[in-house]
Amino acid sequence: MRHPSPLRIALIMDCPLLQNGGVELLGRALSLNLPTYFPIVLVTPEPENCIPQSYLEVIDAHISLPSPFTVSAAANLVKSLRKQGVQLAHFHLGGTYSLKLRSYFRCPLRAFVESAFPYLITNHGVFGFYGYCGATQPLLFKWAVLPYFYTSRSYFIAKSKGEWMVSKNDLAKMQRWFWPLKHRFGVIYHSLMKPSNRLPSNSVRKKRFLCVGTVGHRKGQWLLTQAFAEVQEQIPEWRLTIVGRFATEELKIKTLAPISHPSILKKVDIIDNATDQEVEDFYKTSEIFVIPSLEEGLGLTLQEALFYGCACISTRAGGTEDLVEDGDNGIMVNRGSAKELGDAMVRLARDSALREKFASRGPSSITEKEMTMDLMVKKYAEIYRNIPF
């Protein structure tokens, strides 16, 4: 039953709800659970007839995000939201400069500001400061446009009802970079975990290195395959399983190249179309989870692996440092180093007592930090209630 609140919220996703990235999975969880507290209008890039019935049964309405999402298209969206009785727009962004936030004149949020339509932002990934500009752009160009991009981003922070990060690491970055506005930032740990889903301690696991997530440059699976190729002869009974879709064909080639030799490839499983249940089963049946990322907002798959009792190896990649304490509930290595990653894999594969220690500590390390789906939803509900209009 819905909470009889007069406040109607629009959840606005800048990526398709039905993809299987971390932002999308969290968006799905919020869409299904926030209606317990508030009427929800869901805005996503999907056509209106492509949202599953299970969502339509709990949300008040679905609106298809205009494409391209220009300032004028955003002005029309504002009109649609007002017709739906929406009073607050909540944008879920994949990164600090998503949604053209680097450019005041091109950013769709300008229409919300000009229409005096309240909005807040969840920033799911505070990645490198120079993420505001394409990696291939010359350094001189980056420095030339930085003042404009920085000023634009600051403007939309100042006009918002607040911006929320998904890790303390990301919060510290935003408060450091945009220090004049640091009081406008907060943090909410995001999660899909429910305490009732915890596994019994005697679950049977395979000698498998598991990695879950979209296969992209930032996610670092290309480093993981390099590491496995180098160490697999030292631990011949261990396999590598990578679960996730390839972001590009180029990344597929780069990721598979180190393990292309038949003697190595036969020890590797690449699964690009696993269901949610299949992914959960991999967590429950794998000894070791490895996240080789270069940057993470939080590291949702790492959080899940810890919760399900995998012994974990993680790179120091931002939000992952909120999750793993080196030697307590996992092993931390420096990002970008296939050698360090491989050394940690060999160490943990050969030390069953250490694996048992990490597997035992992992679930409680997550619940102690209050990283559960129910608390995530409740904290957003509290934020909505306390926003001044």
Rounded to the nearest angstrom, the gap between the alpha carbon of residue 324 and the centroid of all alpha carbons in its chain is 16
Residue 276: pLDDT band with limits 50, 70, 90: confident
Distance from C-alpha of 306 to C-alpha of 362, rounded to nearest angstrom: 4
pLDDT at 136 over 80: no
Helix/strand/coil for 13:
strand
pLDDT score, position 223: 97
Which of 341, 246, 254, 327 is closest to 292 using CA atoms? 341
pLDDT score, position 3: 47
pLDDT at 21 over 90: no
Which of 120-129, 186-195, 283-292 has the weakest average pLDDT? 120-129
Amino acid found at 277: Q
**Other residues' Cβ atoms within 10 Å of the Cβ of residue 175:** 15
pLDDT at 134 over 90: no
Which of 2-16, 271-285, 296-310 has the weakest average pLDDT? 2-16
pLDDT at 201 over 60: no
> Under 8 Å CB-to-CB from 341, ≥6 apart: which residues?
223, 224, 227, 290, 292, 313, 315, 333
> What percentage of residues in the chain have a pLDDT greater than 90?
79
Contact 360, 201 (CB under 8 A): yes
Q: Both tokens of residue 122?
A: 């969840």
Contact 111, 78 (CB under 8 A): yes
pLDDT score, position 361: 95
pLDDT score, position 144: 85
Residue 157: pLDDT band with limits 50, 70, 90: very high
In tens, the pLDDT along 211-256 reads 999 999 999 999 999 999 999 999 999 999 999 999 899 999 999 9
Q: For residue 11, what is the enclosing H or E element?
A: strand 9-13
pLDDT score, position 197: 61
Domains of the chain by range and CATH?
A: 9-191+372-386 (3.40.50.2000), 195-368 (3.40.50.2000)
pLDDT at 342 over 80: yes
pLDDT score, position 20: 77
pLDDT score, position 133: 65
pLDDT score, position 199: 56
pLDDT score, position 138: 80
Which of 93-107, 185-199, 220-234 has the weakest average pLDDT? 185-199
The values of phi and psi at residue 206, to 5°, are -100, 155
Distance from C-alpha of 307 to C-alpha of 287, rounded to nearest angstrom: 13
> Under 8 Å CB-to-CB from 180, ≥6 apart: which residues?
154
Q: What average pLDDT is seen over the chain?
A: 92
N-term to C-term CA, the chain: 26
pLDDT at 378 over 90: yes
Mean pLDDT of 249-267: 95
The CA–CA distances, whole Å, from 289 to 292, 309, 370 equal 10, 9, 21
pLDDT score, position 73: 97
Which of 169, 195, 168, 190 is closest to 364 using CA atoms? 195
pLDDT score, position 198: 59
Q: Both tokens of residue 279?
A: 């992914």
Q: Both tokens of residue 137?
A: 């752009």
The CA–CA distances, whole Å, from 35 to 62, 83, 196, 362, 381 equal 13, 19, 21, 31, 10
Mean pLDDT of 312-336: 96
pLDDT score, position 196: 65
The CA–CA distances, whole Å, from 1 to 35, 38, 102, 251, 383 equal 8, 10, 41, 46, 21
Which of 13-27, 146-160, 307-321, 367-381 has the weakest average pLDDT? 13-27
